[in-house]
Amino acid sequence: MPDATGLELIAQRVRDTVGEEAVTGTSFFRGQATLEVAPDAVHSALAYLKQGDDEPWTNLMSVHGCDYLPEEPRFGVHYQLLSMERADRLNVKTRVGIDDPQLPSVVDLFPTADFQEREVYDMFGVIFDGHPDPRRILMPEDYEGFPQRRDFPMGGEPVLYTFNEDKYPRWYD
Amino acid sequence: MEVTRKRVDGDAIRAQPAEPAASGMRVRQLKAQQMLRGELAGRDLEEFVEERLVFTKLETAQNWARKNCLFPLGFGLACCAIEMITVIGSPRNDLARFGAEAIRFTPRQADLLILSGRVSIKMAPIIRRLYDQMLEPKWVISMGACASSAGMFNNYAVVAGADKFLPIDVYVPGCPPRPEALIYGIMKLQDKIMGEPDMGWRERYQAEGTQEVPAGA
């Protein structure tokens, strides 16, 4: 990870090239450098980091979704970048709300984002604009709902344990 | 620990009446010779035939043959599949003793489906299709907690119990089951094949053909 100063320098370069409001914050926590960007600036910020930065961040290692339910905006999407030249990693995080969970797709920059954005869509319902194949990837195509959202029911069937045996009377019927 | 040794009494063993010289194998050989020459007649002939014939019902003989040549489908779902492979495929457990070691990799040739692992809702229609493609008579073993009741994967993605979409003959509990447990399950299935006419699950569901619901319902 870049150190805290290096992170601020990266953030300033992104601000200079992409726009002042593109970077909403930085955090350096337990050795992990995180650049927080605005949702509509994700594509241009990642494009700058991949192509414009000196010693560019060429590899996208992972795209995650995350649901911070009581907070607003609710969904987080995390991009983890790796630079082999720096031998270093950088997190790029963004947040979108439940009303309009849309993000620009980065498949044109990083082909590996294809399946991972599909998975984030499948599990959290975040829509990636410009994705070449925006289908579900893990759940059946006719599945309703986005199961990793925190307000999605767990599913399954009640199981009888000793602590809940009076909650499910005659569960075997 | 004190070990006591008993002296083997050689004289007593030798004193036991030996088999008469002309008994056993030799007598049977001579009798067979006589039979072929046509010299055996009457009670001797009857005894000779009775010794060599087994009478049974056709159905029992059929079930006996089916029970001793189960062909499992080469099909695994999750971690239990690794355990299943060590049971079916390895000489250590040697399922060939019970005649069920010949794995078939097409459902058209298999008659035993071992559901080894959790059944996800996306996999369920595929399994059902495999089951429908298998020829009659066919049997299903649900191996492990997940295939029987979703086990630890009791959530939105897994079918809680494969018996929701297929008739299952034997449930083997465990996570995963010991190899002995799966072998015991297969032997239980063999008992079932031997004991029941092969319409087992159809009788259970009052069904005909491959439908599980009675035609009128």
Residue B195 is predicted with a pLDDT of 81
Q: Nearest chain B residue to A140 by CA: give it.
A: B122
Tell me what the pLDDT averaged over chain A comes to: 88
Q: Report yes or no on B184 lying in a domain.
A: yes
Q: Report yes or no on B74 lying in a domain.
A: yes
Q: Report yes or no on B212 lying in a domain.
A: no
Q: Report yes or no on B105 lying in a domain.
A: yes
Tell whether the model's pLDDT for residue A51 goes beyond 60: yes
**Quick one: average pLDDT of A133-159?**
86
Residue B154 is predicted with a pLDDT of 87
* Element housing B179 (H / E): helix B179-195
Residue whose token pair is 């050689």: B10
How many angstroms from the chain centroid is the CA of residue A114?
Answer: 13
- Residue B137: which CATH number? 3.40.50.12280
**Contact call for residues B169 and B192 (beta carbons, < 8 A):** yes
**Shortest Cα distance from A159 to chain B (angstroms)?**
9
**Shortest Cα distance from A156 to chain B (angstroms)?**
4
**Contact call for residues A89 and A61 (beta carbons, < 8 A):** yes
> Which of helix, strand or coil describes residue A142?
coil
Per-residue confidence in pLDDT tens, chain B, 217 aa: 666 776 666 666 666 665 555 577 888 888 888 888 888 788 888 888 888 888 888 888 888 898 899 999 988 899 999 999 999 888 888 888 888 888 899 999 999 999 999 999 999 999 999 998 888 788 899 999 999 988 888 888 898 888 888 888 899 999 999 999 999 999 999 998 888 655 555 665 666 666 666 556 5
pLDDT digits (tens, 9 = 90+) for A24-40: 999 999 988 999 999 99
Q: Report yes or no on B39 lying in a domain.
A: no
Could you say which of A147, A152, A157 has the minimum Cβ distance to residue B154? A157
Portion 123-152 of A in contact with B at CB < 8 A: 138-140, 143, 147, 152
* Element housing A75 (H / E): strand A75-83
Residue A128 is predicted with a pLDDT of 92
Domain boundaries in chain A?
Answer: 4-144
Q: Give which of A150, A129, A147 is closest to A138, Cα–Cα.
A: A147
Q: What counts of helices (H) and strands (E) characterise chain B?
A: 9, 3
A119 band by pLDDT with thresholds 50, 70 and 90: very high
**Contact call for residues A34 and A4 (beta carbons, < 8 A):** no
CATH topology of domain A4-144: Beta Polymerase; domain 2 (3.30.460)
Residue A107 is predicted with a pLDDT of 93
> Is B152 in CB contact (< 8 Å) with chain A?
no
> Is A153 in CB contact (< 8 Å) with chain B?
yes
**Shortest Cα distance from A122 to chain B (angstroms)?**
12
Beta strands in chain B (DSSP E): 112-116, 139-143, 170-172
Better-predicted residue by pLDDT, A139 or B16:
A139
Which of A159, A161, A164, A168 is best to mutate for the B interface (most B CBs within 10 A)? A159
Tell whether the model's pLDDT for residue A138 goes beyond 60: yes
B122 interaction partners in chain A (CB closer than 8 Å): 138-140
- Judge: B156–A140 Cβ closer than 8 Å, yes or no: no
Residue B210 is predicted with a pLDDT of 61
Could you say which of B121, B154, B157 has the minimum Cβ distance to residue A159? B154
pLDDT digits (tens, 9 = 90+) for A58-82: 999 999 999 998 988 899 999 999 9
Range of the domain at B177: 70-196
Overall pTM > 0.80: no
Cα–Cα dist A136/A121, whole Å: 7
Cα–Cα dist A118/A39, whole Å: 17
Which of A122, A123, A143, A164 is best to mutate for the B interface (most B CBs within 10 A)? A143
Q: How many domains does chain B have?
A: 1
Cα–Cα dist B127/B87, whole Å: 21
Q: Give which of A6, A92, A19 is closest to A49, Cα–Cα.
A: A92
**Quick one: average pLDDT of A145-162?**
83
- Judge: A156–B121 Cβ closer than 8 Å, yes or no: no
Q: Report yes or no on B141 lying in a domain.
A: yes
